Structure 1
Amino acid sequence: MTLSLKDKVLFISGASRGIGLAIALRAAKDGAKISIAAKTATPHPKLPGTIYTAAEEIERAGGKALPLVCDIRDEESVKSAIQKTIEKFNGIDIVVNNASAISLTDTENTTLKKYNLMHEINARGTWLVTKYALPYLIESGKQDRNPHILNISPPLSMKEQWFSDHVAYSIAKFNMSLCILGWAGEFREHGIAANALWPVTSIDTAALSILDKHTSSKSRTPQIMADAAHLILTKNSTGFSGNFVIDEIILREHGQTEFDQYLVTPGNRDLVLDLFVDDEVFNKLKPLWKEDRRKKNPKL
């Protein structure tokens, strides 16, 4: 399998900024065709970027872009965005379900509005986008175009610690991962891969920078997720499916040893670890982090 997404058609939800845009830009470097499905058509008062500025960046990076105003909570909006993608690019090879809503609040302090928003975007929206893209993914498989579904969602872990502080968000987010568990089996006969990707550390996005500048400074850039996503999406779809991938681990498995390039604050080693990553993952990476530090400073 060639490690390129040249001429592949990607439909990415929430691609106007952050991780979604980073994944789009990495694909654009290969010459991919990308539908940017997001609600942000006019500048947000606090968050930078719209579907149109994202499209300009993608075109400058070497890809082709189709900006689409799309609310993935709305069935007709999703159907329209999928249809416009087909009309523009004549197919869909890859779906990246990146759009997500978050509220790290306990049950008492989570409003019904917030609960509904998280479930309508994270779980229902992810399922809806994939449902209407499915006929074209199946056709992609028939043409040996290596179809993939990638959800930006955590490894499945039924541990109390991941639910007790923010049960509404956790349920909504893990539902995205449950989709992967089911789709890997359901779509296998069509040669469609279904995988999830999650970061081991917090990722600096515009939203995080506004919400928590302290955490933002102790994070990695979205580029690490983009590079990890690229590795997944260029794997053979018939042989790599049903996996819950951690960004740094897959990069290391493919020979990458330099991770300072992803630091928001150069030289910072005090990174904030992300939610939903079990101790087994940290225990696997901690010796490697220590070795990385020793290589840079033999006195340690």
Structure 2
Amino acid sequence: MNTLHGKTLFITGASRGIGLAIALRAARDGANVAIAAKSTVPNPKLPGTIHSAAAAVDAAGGKGLAIKCDIREEAEVQAAVAQTVATFGGIDILVNNASAIWLRGALDTPMKRFDLMSQVNARGSFLCAQVCLPHLLQASNPHILTLAPPPSLDPKWWAPHTGYTLAKMGMSFVTLGLAAEFGAQGVAINALWPRTIIATDALNMIPGIDLARCRKPEIVADAAHAVLTRSARGFSGRFLLDEDMLREAGVSDFSAYAVDATKTPLADLFLE
């Protein structure tokens, strides 16, 4: 099985960046994609809305469904999942892509930023999984894929931005726990992380990054496709890297994914 044709994906934060790239890769297979995000009107600093993303899914050969959803709000997530099921008849795949970032030290982290990160990243991933799981358990090859790094207790990843690392590792530990709870029931619950920094709008939050040394979101989308087309049973609780998944799929040349193929790509956060 190497296609997502006819599968229904619920992707959070999919109006732009990696989430949108994953949506479009699935759309090329003929998948149904619920775009669950907050962006309903264009923002000059952050291009892309749920409506433009859904239209792009349609244009790529899939069926897009634009849903305004703040994953911090339980009722909104429940309504979004219900709308997806009513439209497409079920949910096969949840992609926890939505994430908030603030790379500052403790004294430079306002509590509203800390709260936003913990509510969106760890709590949001748990909530979306909780609401989607009753439908996933009825699917033929169910997956939850969360964009989160391998868990690390190395202080060098905690000292510069404890708030962000806590929130991001929260997504990793949610993956670990849910995989242990539901893996035996045939749900593949895994995390995926880019080996290199990806050129997205989130880079505006990281000062001094050389865009030329980044890769395009499509590398994560192709890796996610390789994960989501795997047989779910017995494939759970793994912390996967995009490059490794593509190497397994037979890719050895990653230059097509480079913003500038002449530059050495930068390693992403939380990786050696």
TM-score of the alignment, normalized to the shorter chain, above 0.5: yes
2:88 corresponds to: 89
Matches within 5 A, 1:98-117: 98-117=97-116
1:239 corresponds to: 234
1:6 corresponds to: 5
1:69 corresponds to: 68
Which whole-Å CA distance do the structure 2 matches of 1:169 and 1:214 have between them?
18
1:203 corresponds to: 198
Q: Under a length normalisation based on structure 1, what TM-score does the superposition of the two structures give? A: 0.88
SS at the partner of 1:108?
Answer: helix
Matches within 5 A, 1:219-234: 219-234=214-229
Which whole-Å CA distance do the structure 1 matches of 2:207 and 2:198 have between them?
12
Q: Deviations over 1:97-130 (max 9, x none)?
A: 0000000011111010000000000011111111
Q: Which runs of 5+ in 2 are unaligned?
A: none
2:165 corresponds to: 170
Q: Which runs of 5+ in 1 are unaligned?
A: 280-300
2:142 corresponds to: 147
Alignment length, in residue pairs? 272
Which whole-Å CA distance do the structure 1 matches of 2:239 and 2:205 have between them?
29
1:250 deviates by 1.5
Matched, 1:265 2:260: yes
Matches within 5 A, 1:276-295: 276-277=270-271, 279=272
**Counterpart of 2:250 in structure 1: which amino acid?**
G
Which whole-Å CA distance do the structure 2 matches of 1:192 and 1:259 have between them?
30
1:67 deviates by 0.3
1:285 corresponds to: none
**Counterpart of 1:208 in structure 2: which amino acid?**
L
Q: Under a length normalisation based on structure 2, what TM-score does the superposition of the two structures give? A: 0.97
Which whole-Å CA distance do the structure 2 matches of 1:53 and 1:19 have between them?
15
1:213 deviates by 7.2
1:253 deviates by 2.1
Which whole-Å CA distance do the structure 2 matches of 1:187 and 1:215 have between them?
40
Task: Summarize the Cα distance change of 1:211–1:106 in structure 2 as closer, same or farther, 3 Å threshold.
Answer: closer
Moved more, 17-26 or 184-193: 184-193
Which whole-Å CA distance do the structure 1 matches of 2:206 and 2:151 have between them?
26
Q: Deviations over 1:64-106 (max 9, x none)?
A: 0100000000011111100100110010000000000000011
2:153 corresponds to: 158
1:139 deviates by 1.0
Decide whether the 8 Å contact of 1:5 with 1:234 is kept in 2.
Answer: yes
Which whole-Å CA distance do the structure 1 matches of 2:125 and 2:270 have between them?
19
Decide whether the 8 Å contact of 1:209 with 1:216 is kept in 2.
Answer: no
Decide whether the 8 Å contact of 2:183 with 2:237 is kept in 1.
Answer: no
Decide whether the 8 Å contact of 2:194 with 2:243 is kept in 1.
Answer: yes
Which whole-Å CA distance do the structure 1 matches of 2:220 and 2:38 have between them?
22
Which whole-Å CA distance do the structure 2 matches of 1:14 and 1:54 have between them?
10
